């Protein structure tokens, strides 16, 4: 593995270090508002999934297709935030400052006519989309200047339509693409044409001018064109560090007046920024310099817009479309008293045998509709505060409700396998008849249960309360489940683990949780040998984590499974334990988000939007909970060491 590949892997979870590197200071933006939006969107996807499956069972094809389309809308969730302006205004430098590293090339020469699109990915790479090419070319980030600079690609001789830069920057996880465009007004006419042609794709714009020559005639004419496509514009005066403090207000006033000749003054908010200082602040985690650079005010406003204005409008629109579908004539009859009465009779007589029963499907749609009505009411009454939170317990968004909710363990009467009483037939089979019978019973149970777990919210809740199955049976269940079914069925379980790791006494609560989930065997010679090697490695790893520099490297890793987290924590100091638990908590939160995103995009037939993290998130989370299947001990007598 070369150094660049190692760096890419180390950056896979760089957002974790971004969240903590500033300590008590603040040299990074707050993104919790955007996380709340993402969680609500994924909960909506869960509701739509249940409704779509219900209509599928009831053979309501039109309604089922309508909800598939709604899920496609949620999956795409492509909000384009473009950085526009005249050439040499420092647009790329500003983007580098926002993402906190010099990722995009900067220099004396202007960019080519290629559009550069930053989007979230588990590791850094670029995808080059060329004209007359069916598939983009994947390359390391170091190759970026070869395609987006005038020196590397003069006159866009390489016929590049766009370059997608995937990077694990936290803000990009939550619903938008960050786009760098060629500057207008240079001698390279193709650059100006490319940027003007991209305007219809923009949802919001960062309009960048410079303190050295603010708001030229070219920029004012360009702004007039931008207005035709975009209503939300953030105005930035870059390079503000080039002018003395006494002159800065004069420049701000001049730019405000110049913009005011084109748009309403009430919509103008100017952000004077030094991209150079901002990037230095982000790289060094210097909260004071970050404040002085002016970037904080802009990032706060961007996050507020993306999480509140943009998010609320988008989600409200989708909910209204869903409710309109449910109010059509094709849908209305399933809400009649006839269905509810038949459902009650079926429950009393125990005639409901599996989740795919038409009556059960109708009831699931009724329950999902009620959740949508409640959520719509909350959105209308603006019960989302400035922190992006809301009272979500009534629609089961809160993990507190999952923990406090008193309900019996999962009732498997509806999915119980048939009992085979033909003993003679069993005796004629190869191998142990008891083992064969148990294996058949397990397969019969899992084949029913995995279907129910992928569709039934109550089953998912009970499964999370029980912490799933033992490691052996966990992997047996996964072996007959699809990745989509596993992502849906285990998401609530994974969320509960993340929640518990964040609550209560960090040491005692988490150790009890980990002890409950992580079992081991002491009855095997190989296990004893591995146990010694395991203990030795744990000691060495703990020694490394005690060093602050090595601890930072650990924070950029995928961590350890819960079993080994328990072993580490059992011999670590309180400070190290808290560090390990906090790191593990964030990993589980991200896994749950990626699992939900995977299932949404898969069902919405937008699989081309899936990234690597989302595709294997379910496997990664499960392996973190029960251990890698290559070292799990499938023995019924498993005990703590």
Confidence of residue 10 (pLDDT cuts 50, 70, 90): very low
> What was the pLDDT predicted at 340?
59
Does residue 38 or residue 603 have the better pLDDT? 603
> What was the pLDDT predicted at 430?
59
Q: Which of 29-33, 170-174, 377-381, 540-544 has the lowest mean pLDDT?
A: 29-33
Contacts of 437 (CB under 8 A, 6+ apart): 420, 426
Q: Which of 169-183, 247-261, 549-563 has the lowest mean pLDDT?
A: 549-563
> What was the pLDDT predicted at 175?
64
Q: Which residues pair with 178 in a beta bridge?
A: 81, 118
Confidence of residue 342 (pLDDT cuts 50, 70, 90): low
In order of start, what are the domains of the chain with their CATH numbers?
49-75+311-396 (no CATH), 78-293 (3.40.50.300), 398-641 (no CATH)
> What was the pLDDT predicted at 17?
37
Q: Which two tokens stand for residue 52?
A: 């779509």
Confidence of residue 356 (pLDDT cuts 50, 70, 90): low
Asked if 273 contacts 298 with a C-beta cutoff of 8 angstroms, the reply is yes
Of 69-78, 96-105, 265-274, 301-310, the range with the highest mean pLDDT is 96-105
Whether the predicted pLDDT of 210 surpasses 70:
yes
Confidence of residue 534 (pLDDT cuts 50, 70, 90): low
Asked if 69 contacts 88 with a C-beta cutoff of 8 angstroms, the reply is no
Average pLDDT along the chain? 76
Q: Alpha-carbon distance 281 to 276, whole Å?
A: 9
Whether the predicted pLDDT of 134 surpasses 90:
no
- pLDDT tens string 358-408: 777 777 788 888 888 888 777 766 544 433 444 433 444 343 443 343 333
> What was the pLDDT predicted at 246?
80
- pLDDT tens string 494-527: 888 887 777 655 555 566 666 656 544 444 444 4
Does residue 206 or residue 315 have the better pLDDT? 206
Whether the predicted pLDDT of 473 surpasses 90:
no
- pLDDT tens string 275-328: 999 999 989 989 999 999 999 999 988 888 877 777 776 787 788 888 888 887
How far from chain centre, in Å, is Cα 104? 23
Q: CB burial class (10 A; 0-12, 13-18, 19+) of residue 56?
A: middle
DSSP for residue 229: T
Whether the predicted pLDDT of 424 surpasses 60:
no
Asked if 384 contacts 390 with a C-beta cutoff of 8 angstroms, the reply is yes
DSSP for residue 308: I
Query: What is the phi/psi pair of residue 158, to 5°?
Result: -85, 5
Residue whose C-alpha is closest to residue 115's, from 92, 98, 90: 92
Whether the predicted pLDDT of 25 surpasses 60:
no
Alpha helices in 77-134 (DSSP H): 91-99
Q: Which of 221-225, 251-255, 303-307 has the lowest mean pLDDT?
A: 303-307
- pLDDT tens string 571-606: 889 999 998 899 889 888 888 988 988 999 888 888
């Amino acid at each position: 593995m070369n150094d660049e590949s190692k760096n890419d892997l180390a950056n896979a979870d760089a957002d974790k270090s971004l969240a903590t590197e500033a300590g008590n200071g603040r040299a990074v933006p707050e993104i919790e508002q955007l996380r709340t939006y993402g969680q609500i969107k994924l909960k909506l996807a869960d509701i739509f999934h249940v409704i779509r499956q219900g209509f599928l069972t009831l053979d309501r094809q039109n309604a089922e297709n309508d909800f598939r389309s709604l899920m496609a809308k949620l999956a795409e969730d492509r909000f384009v935030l473009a950085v526009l302006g005249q050439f040499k205004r420092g647009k790329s430098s500003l983007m580098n400052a926002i993402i906190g590293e010099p990722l995009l090339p900067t220099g004396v020469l202007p960019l080519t006519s290629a559009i550069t699109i930053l989007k979230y990915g588990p590791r850094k790479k670029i995808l080059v989309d060329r004209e007359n090419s069916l598939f983009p070319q994947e390359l390391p980030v170091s190759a970026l200047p070869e395609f987006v600079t005038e020196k590397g690609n003069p006159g866009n001789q390489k016929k590049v339509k766009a370059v997608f830069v995937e990077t694990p920057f936290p803000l990009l996880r939550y619903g938008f693409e960050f786009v760098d465009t060629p500057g207008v007004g240079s001698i390279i006419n193709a650059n100006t044409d490319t940027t003007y042609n991209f305007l219809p794709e923009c949802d919001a714009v960062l309009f960048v001018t410079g303190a050295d020559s603010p708001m030229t005639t070219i920029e004012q004419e360009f702004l007039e064109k931008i207005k035709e496509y975009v209503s939300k514009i953030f105005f930035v005066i870059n390079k503000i560090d080039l002018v003395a403090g006494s002159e800065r207000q004069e420049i701000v006033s001049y730019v405000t007046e110049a913009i005011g000749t084109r748009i309403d003054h009430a919509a103008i908010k100017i952000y004077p920024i030094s991209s150079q200082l901002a990037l230095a602040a982000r790289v060094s985690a210097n909260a004071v310099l970050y404040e002085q650079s002016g970037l904080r005010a802009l990032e706060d406003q961007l996050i507020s817009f993306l999480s509140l204005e943009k998010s609320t409008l988008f989600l409200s629109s989708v909910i209204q479309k869903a409710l309109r579908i449910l109010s059509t004539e094709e849908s209305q009859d399933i809400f009649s008293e006839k269905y509810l009465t038949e459902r009650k009779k079926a429950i009393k007589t125990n005639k409901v045998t599996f989740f795919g029963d038409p009556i059960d499907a109708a009831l699931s749609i009724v329950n999902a509709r009620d959740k949508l009505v409640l959520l719509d009411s909350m959105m209308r009454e603006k019960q989302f505060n400035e922190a992006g939170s809301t009272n979500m317990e009534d629609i089961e968004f809160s993990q507190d409700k999952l923990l406090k909710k008193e309900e019996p363990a999962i009732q498997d009467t509806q999915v119980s396998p048939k009992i085979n009483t033909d003993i003679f037939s069993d005796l004629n089979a190869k191998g142990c008849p008891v083992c064969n019978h148990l294996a058949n019973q397990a397969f019969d149970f899992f084949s029913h249960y995995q279907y129910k777990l992928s569709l039934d919210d109550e089953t998912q809740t009970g499964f999370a309360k029980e912490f799933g199955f033992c490691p052996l049976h966990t992997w047996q269940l996964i072996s007959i489940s699809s990745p989509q079914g596993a992502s849906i069925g285990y998401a609530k379980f994974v969320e509960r683990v993340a929640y518990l790791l964040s609550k209560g006494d960090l040491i005692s609560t988490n150790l009890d949780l980990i002890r409950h989930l992580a079992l081991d065997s002491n009855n095997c010679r190989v296990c004893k040998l591995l146990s010694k090697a395991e203990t030795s490695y744990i000691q060495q790893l703990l020694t490394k984590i005690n060093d602050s520099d090595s601890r930072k490297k650990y924070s950029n890793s995928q961590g350890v499974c819960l079993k080994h987290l328990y072993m580490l924590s059992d011999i670590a100091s309180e400070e190290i334990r808290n560090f390990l638990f906090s790191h593990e908590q964030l990993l589980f939160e991200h896994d749950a988000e990626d699992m939900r995103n995977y299932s949404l995009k898969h069902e919405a037939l937008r699989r081309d939007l899936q990234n690597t993290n989302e595709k294997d998130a379910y496997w990664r989370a499960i392996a973190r909970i029960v251990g890698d299947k290559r070292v799990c001990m499938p023995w019924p007598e498993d005990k703590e060491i």
